[in-house]
Structure 1
Amino acid sequence: MDKAVAALLLSVGLHSLGAAALDNGLAITPQMGWDTWNSFACSLNETVILDAAKKIVSLGFRDLGYEYVVLDDCWSAGRNSSGYLVPNKEKFPNGISDLADKIHASGLKIGIYSSAGTMTCARYAGSLGYEEKDAAVWASWGIDYLKYDNCYNQGEEGTPKLSFDRYNKMGKALNVTGRPILYSLCNWGVDGPWNFAPTIANSWRTSGDLSNVWDREDVNCPCQEKEGIDCKLPGYHCSVMNVLNKAVYYPSKAIPGAWNDLDMLQVGNGGLTDEEAKAHFSLRAALKSPPLMTNVMTKTDAPTLSILQNTAVLAVSQDPLGSSANRIWRYYVDDVDSNGKGEIQLFSGPLSGGDQLALFLNAGSEDRNMNASLVDIFWEDGADGTAQQIGYSWDIHDLWANRMSNETANAIINGMASGSNGTMNMTAMGGARKVYSQVPLPSSSKELMGSKVGSVKASGTVTAHVKAHGVAMLRLRQQNNKDEL
């Protein structure tokens, strides 16, 4: 192994450092896949990985675009005498290279984890000072993806320049290998990575670690609205709402090839209600946060599968325009309100083909009717843009109205989906993924457009009934003919 790695280093040593990771041709739409950490932590091993990969394929997730299988922390046994990382032989008796071959043979890609520090967060060997050796050995194993954390960083943070330099070292090292390796920077939002990471990485974490909870006050995860708390601290035990309300301030930083990462999905991990899980998944799609599943794939149930395989929502996530939705307004609701305590928000943003996304979020404790005018929904277009909508009608498509039934989901889980009764099967799902990038999406495809639930003129209002801790996710499409004024 040492000779192979040395040969690789020699072969790439004459190359220039190459373009920034943003130009590596990867993550043109937000990367999709599965990560070990939330369900397995340090209990990952070869069997866990291969079992998950098998399910990702057999349940149809691969055909929908979930292509990366990421080994998170705790995979290594430290460094050998030559300073190269080696895998834990008990967990990976056949080595990572052999595992990568098996993952690739199933039509998937493989990812690995390290930290831009002396140790990883679980106190395994980190990559600080070993960037070229580590990148080279990963490339020699056939690695396609790196999640790069921020633990034990020797104090090399506190200014954007310090963080940039430390993470840029690994970005350059990955480029030197000549192998396309997606670079997922994970510094928890310290030093504003959205300002520098787009030039060196394919995605960057926007805040602290996400817990499997909808909305909970926790001093370990400071909120931007709290006085007397240093909100620059990344924190942990962060709730879905906490992470969301920090990420709404820089949606424009995300562009094709480089994405804001609101941490991995918690769908299917038991802590969220069905409405909360739908909202969590929908908001990540709207804000273009990479959808990485973390549930135990071998225990996937019908509600989980039907959320993660909602192709109409995934079509928003994978929309080729690559434009994140913006928060248009946010209102608080107090205890005296008959509709319960909480907050409500409206998100909106353009989609390819001239479509528009409108997402109503009801974080309150009771169901409610929510509404917005087209001026609200097209607010980012400015006065001229909204004025241009006058005289036209827009069809409204509900992206959750055609959610897969539990019966169909269970048929897929049990390997019995045939598609003979018109429900989606493996072939249909693969076909759906192929047209994520079609412009415009076919109106007749309920799998990609949801169900048409109405229309609205420029002077009208879009109204939706939104359940507590839920969302209404709507796709607006302008009708072909101008209405009579």
Structure 2
Amino acid sequence: MSSETAFHPVELLRWDGIRSWNAYGVNINESVVKNTVQLFETLGLKDAGYEYISIDDGWSAFERTPDGFLQANSTRFPDGMANLADYVHSKGLKIGLYGDSGKLTCAFHPGSSGYEERDALTYAEWGIDYLKYDNCGGFASMVEAPEVRFGAMNDALKLSGRDISYAVCEWGYQFPWHWGGNIGHSYRMAGDITASFINETGCACKTAYCLNTGYAGCSVVTNIKKMREISQYQTPGHWADMDGLEIGNINMTIYQQQTHFTFWAALKSPLIISTDLATLSHESTALLTNKDIIALNQDSLGKVVNYVETASTEGSIQVWAGEIQDGHVVLLFNEKSFQQTYKVSFNSLGLNIAGLKGVKELWSGKSYGKSHTIAAKLAPYQTLVFKLAM
């Protein structure tokens, strides 16, 4: 193996981009992918730093080749995955694919259990840059602990000869924040996110430490609440994945969309757009390309915000704070369906703000000078983001 193709661990990048599942399910094809690549350019997503075009379940044929290799669905991807990867790379972007640790994927395509090294080599030969590795496949494949099943693909990717970002998607099962950082570059911290901002009926697992995971998906706000318990486990290069962004898929207010995007960014989740870009509104596009918020996600210090329980009121106001490269960031989230006013004292949040140069709210761009205390009005479900420059 040459030094040019040796595996190197990915450190700070959060692999921001787009994934097909929430918008298309298994109904994905070559034309949709190429159109998405073009929209990346015209909508300004590439300029904003998004770079991964990730194809979820449904891309492969239902059978392996006679020699046991994965193959693309020839109807949906007639030119094959290697040619598609070349096309994506020619546009200055990267390509991701979906696999599964079981015998079958969630949509009953071939899984990689028992084929890890062969499939990793296939991905490398095709020029794949990112692998989302799922947890379906039936109980026949679940007799092994997730560390073993997902670790096998990690080992295979290291031997493949190509740098492939590895996203462990096992739904928060057996608490991956305690082990996932040793295996994947990211790990899902919960079941599939639902197309709901706050109201939900099928969310059986409303805390991080809950054994009812998997398809027991929850809303945007519930995933935020789960992160209150586990944000401290985030480490550079090994991030908790809060699942794809539902912006553009459901009828959220602009403030709900801002809250969704803010927390995914500040908690260092990969920013994975999961909608049909052709139908994305101008408002949502502007939100997803807000460089101040994206900068929180990509901050070189690699630290997340943490929930400040002493300053928060359960079910009403959430206060989060964290350190960034050039200061601190403070989030105020109004959980209520009506406007509230909250007075925040930065001195009371345990932040070292000696030498404060200025305070700016990032969504509005409003400057607060060197104020240490701010009385803020928050619209229903709005989150304000204060950057404290030091």
| TM, length-normalised to structure 2 | 0.93
* CA shift digits 1:63-97 (9 cap, x unpaired): 22110000000111120111111100000011011
2:296 aligned counterpart, secondary structure? helix
Among 240, 243, 253, the residue aligned to 1:263: 243
Shift of 1:29: 2.7
**Once the 2 structures are TM-superposed, how far is the Cα of residue 157 of structure 1 from its aligned partner?**
5.3
Does residue 134 of the first structure (1) align with residue 119 of the second (2)? yes
Confirm or deny that 1:468 pairs with 2:380.
Answer: yes
Q: Does 1:85 align with 2:70?
A: yes
Q: 1:207 aligns with which of 183, 190, 193?
A: 190
Which of 197, 210, 218 aligns to 1:231? It is 210
1:40 is matched with 24
Matched, 1:452 2:367: yes
The structure-2 alpha-carbon separation of the partners of 1:45 and 1:219, relative to structure 1 and needing over 3 Å to count, comes to closer
Is there any run of 5+ residues in structure 1 with no aligned partner, and where? 1-10, 333-341, 402-449, 479-485
Q: Is the 8 A contact 2:202 2:216 kept in 1?
A: no
Name the Cα RMSD after superposition: 2.1
* Distance of 2:252 and 2:101 partners within structure 1: 32
Conserved? CA contact 1:248–1:326, under 8 Å: yes
Rounded Cα–Cα distance in structure 2 between residues aligned with 1:65 and 1:131: 31
Give the secondary-structure state (helix, strand or coil) at the position aligned to 2:229: coil
1:222 aligns with 2:205: yes
Deviation at 1:220, TM superposition (A): 4.0
Structure 2: stretches of 5+ with no match in the other structure: none
Matched residue, 2:44? 60
Structure 1 or 2, whichever has the larger Rg, is 1
Alignment of 1:184-199 (within 5 A): 184-199=167-182
| Equivalent residue pairs, number | 384
- Percent sequence identity over aligned pairs: 32
Q: Pick the aligned partner of 2:345 from 358, 373, 385.
A: 373
Structure 1 stretches of 4+ moved >6 Å? none
The correspondence of residues 385-464 of structure 1 with structure 2, limited to 5 A, is 386=352, 389=353, 392-401=355-364, 450-457=365-372, 461-464=373-376
1:359 paired residue among 331, 353, 356 = 331
Match of 1:170 in 2: 153
- 1:115 matches 2:97: no
Give the deviation of 1:454 after TM superposition: 3.4
Deviation string for 1:138-176 (max 9, x for gaps)?
A: 111110000001012536659xx8111110100010110
Deviates more, 1:344-353 or 1:295-304: 295-304
CA distance in 2, matches of 1:463, 1:180: 48
Residue type matched to 2:88 in 1?
I
Asked if 1 retains the 8 angstrom alpha-carbon contact of 2:40 and 2:46, the reply is yes
Looking at structure 1, the residues matched to 181 and 190 of structure 2 have their Cα atoms a distance apart, in angstroms, of: 16
TM-score with structure 1 setting the length: 0.75
Once the two structures are TM-superposed, the CA of residue 244 in structure 1 deviates from its matched residue by 1.1
SS at match of 1:396: strand
Partner of 1:285: 265
The SS at the match of 1:101 is helix
Does the CA-based 8 Å contact 1:29-1:322 persist in structure 2? no
Kindly state the Cα deviation for residue 107 of structure 1 after the two structures are TM-superposed.
Answer: 0.5
How far, CA to CA, are the matches of 2:141 and 2:370 in structure 1? 54
TM-aligned CA deviation for residue 269 of structure 1: 1.4
- Which string of whole-angstrom CA distances, capped at 9 and with x for unpartnered residues, describes residues 249-290 of structure 1? 122222221111000111111332211111000011110110
**Matches of 1:106 and 1:72, distance apart in 2:** 20
Task: State how far apart, in whole Å, the 2-side matches of 1:393 and 1:43 are.
Answer: 52
Q: How far is 1:111 from its partner?
A: 0.3
State the 1:465 CA deviation.
1.4
- After superposition, the C-alpha distances for 1:315-371 in whole angstroms (9 at most, x for unaligned) are 111100010100002423xxxxxxxxx421000000002x10000011111111122
Per-residue CA deviation, residues 367-409 of structure 1 (Å, 9 max, x unaligned), is 11122222333x2x5xxxx5xx46x4452111101xxxxxxxx
Verify the 8 A CA contact 1:211 1:236 in the aligned structure 2.
no
Q: Deviations over 1:159-196 (max 9, x none)?
A: xx811111010001011011000001100000111111
